[in-house]
Structure 1
Amino acid sequence: MTPSVVHRAVLTAAPPYDFALSVRALEGFGPMAGEHRVADGCVRRAFAHPDPAKAAAGAAVVAQVDAGPTGGVRLAVLAAAPLTAAEAAAVEQAVAGWLGLADDLRGFHAIADADPAMAPVLRVARGLHQVRFPSLSEATIYFTLTQRSTQWFAGARRRRMAAELGPSLVVDDVVYRSFPSLEVVAGLDDETLRGYAGNAQRAARVREVAAGVAGLGETWLRVAPYCDARTALLALPGVGPFTANALLLRGLGRPDEVPLEMRQFRLTAEQVYGTPPPTPAELRARYGPHIGWWSYITRTAAAWREGPEEVQAVREMVRSSPSPGS
């Protein structure tokens, strides 16, 4: 059956929000390179079908988004068959989570506006919400694959798993693929998983982490007190501080903590504040539970600070684009 638009909605976003900045952040999101298409101000990407049985059978939906009329995004969902109301709502929730639409950054901006060193960052990044991994499964496998490896190899292995195991949908002659569930990855036989992971040790670690995170449950990890969720993740074999914090921030949008002692975050602080930068303790004291937003926005906008003209060009493209499905 030829896919068609089966659902439309306008998704609201917590202000300030600028869809053009989401588009720019997506284009620079290396771990997810090649998994979405940007054209004429619209973005398309696949999500697993919200019915787990259909997703397990290989079904996916494609979400197409562009700038909404009142600061959010317009959504058109393409699928091979109609969705129930509950399924459509689940896709809306998945898309909103992917784009971080509900993230309340008012507390972060109140602090950052009083931080003079942040002025150049906010000049190009005000309205940026965190673009996340589209599923906790994808974040879990990617960050596990980066352990004792490089981001390039981890990304390549993640893309191969999506291409060969993920639910998919063909729209306008383009194959859009989502990522297999944690349960699917954990259930792979040793030889198959070793082929994706690169060696037996990494395969065993991927299986342990996938099964462990699945056992904790995405819902619980979203709503449990942050300290409890982080402690539970750290108790899993194969999960260290970086992976635990990465899953909570980049997978689930929980900004309470960042391992600022790591080199990449020290370099970011130096870019913003100069040398010597504030210590991790000083940054945590200043930004409190918003430290994750400080980390994401400063690191994402680091390459944007040469000037706002590129962002303006994206905004002009977004404003002139047709509505999804038209």
Structure 2
Amino acid sequence: MNDKAFKPVIKNLYGLHQVKFLTPFEAACWAVLSQRISMKVAHNMKERITHVVGDKITIDDVEYWTFPSANQIKNLGEEKLTTILNNHRKSEYLMNVSESFANIEEDFLRYAPLEEVKNWLLNIKGIGEYSAHLELIRGLGRMDDISQKDMMLIKCAKNYYGSDVINENLNEIAEGYKDYKGYWAYYLRSDCSNKWRGQK
């Protein structure tokens, strides 16, 4: 694809990779924990779950904690989870996520048609458009997805493709990148963020 507007972005960020979570379930939990809350508070919640519910392993005399599985959180129960998180709504949503992930094959999430997987995610109470996108990209590495409601992406695209960019023609540009349109969006946002930080 001959995308002249995007060439400087590739040059600036060549070699950049999207960081992913170790498991799809951990990514989904993070999507719930980080909704409408500071990153510091979300990290503290995640750390508490990990240390109370997860498993401890020792390598070369150093202790590490693993993020719990869907079954571990599901079997914990919502009441105990609320005690750990001190947040009833997030506990409810995490329990919904845990029950759903405990009853689905990972192969479905990784290899089923994108829209089927996205619809399955959106049917989980507590998972919205943004959370589903985070799961697809950072949990499953499905770089063929872009969020239709990503206002930052639209704002960034205007910097490179012109001020008249809206959802419809943004999707047309993205479709040119086919299975890698998620990377196209990630590179655009990253380059914009670098420029905005440089202007401060």
TM-score normalised by structure 1 residue count: 0.53
User: Which segment drifts farther, 297-306 or 197-206?
Assistant: 297-306
Alpha-carbon shift at residue 302 of structure 1 (Å) = 4.3
State the superposition RMSD in angstroms: 2.5
Per-residue Cα deviation, 1:2-60 (whole angstroms, up to 9, x for no partner): xxxxxxxxxxxxxxxxxxxxxxxxxxxxxxxxxxxxxxxxxxxxxxxxxxxxxxxxxxx
Number of residues of Structure 1 aligned to a counterpart in Structure 2: 193
Please point out which of 73, 87, 111 is paired with 1:199. Answer: 87
Q: Does 1:161 align with 2:78?
A: no
Identity, % of aligned positions: 28
**Paired residue type of 2:98:** A
- The residue correspondences of 1:282-321 to structure 2 (distance < 5 A) are 282-288=169-175, 289=178, 290-302=180-192
Q: Is the 8 A contact 2:137 2:143 kept in 1?
A: yes
Q: Flag the 1:304–1:218 CA change in 2: closer, same or farther, 3 A.
A: same
Alpha-carbon shift at residue 286 of structure 1 (Å) = 1.6
1:255 aligned partner: 143
Q: Is the 8 A contact 1:255 1:293 kept in 2?
A: yes
Per-residue Cα deviation, 1:255-292 (whole angstroms, up to 9, x for no partner): 2222243333234334x527626222222212223321
The separation in 1 between residues aligned to 2:65 and 2:153, in whole angstroms, is 32
Per-residue Cα deviation, 1:79-115 (whole angstroms, up to 9, x for no partner): xxxxxxxxxxxxxxxxxxxxxxxxxxxxxxxx3xx22
Q: Is the 8 A contact 2:133 2:147 kept in 1?
A: yes
Q: Is the 8 A contact 2:26 2:67 kept in 1?
A: yes
2:31 aligned partner: 143
Gaps of 5+ in 2: none
Match of 1:216, SS state, is: coil
After superposing on structure 2, the runs of 4+ consecutive aligned residues of structure 1 that deviate more than 6 Å are: none
Alpha-carbon shift at residue 192 of structure 1 (Å) = 2.5
Alpha-carbon shift at residue 230 of structure 1 (Å) = 1.1
Q: Does 1:279 align with 2:149?
A: no
Q: Does 1:209 align with 2:97?
A: yes
Q: Flag the 1:301–1:152 CA change in 2: closer, same or farther, 3 A.
A: farther
The separation in 2 between residues aligned to 1:251 and 1:161, in whole angstroms, is 18
Q: Does 1:182 align with 2:182?
A: no
Gaps of 5+ in 1: 1-110, 307-326
**Paired residue type of 1:278:** V
Match of 1:116, SS state, is: coil
Match of 1:175, SS state, is: strand
2:9 aligned partner: 121
Match of 2:116, SS state, is: helix
The separation in 2 between residues aligned to 1:156 and 1:129, in whole angstroms, is 26
Q: Flag the 1:155–1:120 CA change in 2: closer, same or farther, 3 A.
A: farther
Q: Is the 8 A contact 1:190 1:203 kept in 2?
A: yes
**Paired residue type of 2:170:** L
Match of 2:103, SS state, is: helix
Alpha-carbon shift at residue 146 of structure 1 (Å) = 2.2
Q: Is the 8 A contact 1:140 1:210 kept in 2?
A: no
Q: Is the 8 A contact 1:213 1:233 kept in 2?
A: no
Match of 1:187, SS state, is: helix
Q: Flag the 1:200–1:257 CA change in 2: closer, same or farther, 3 A.
A: same
1:322 aligned partner: none
Per-residue Cα deviation, 1:275-321 (whole angstroms, up to 9, x for no partner): 62622222221222332111222334445569xxxxxxxxxxxxxxx
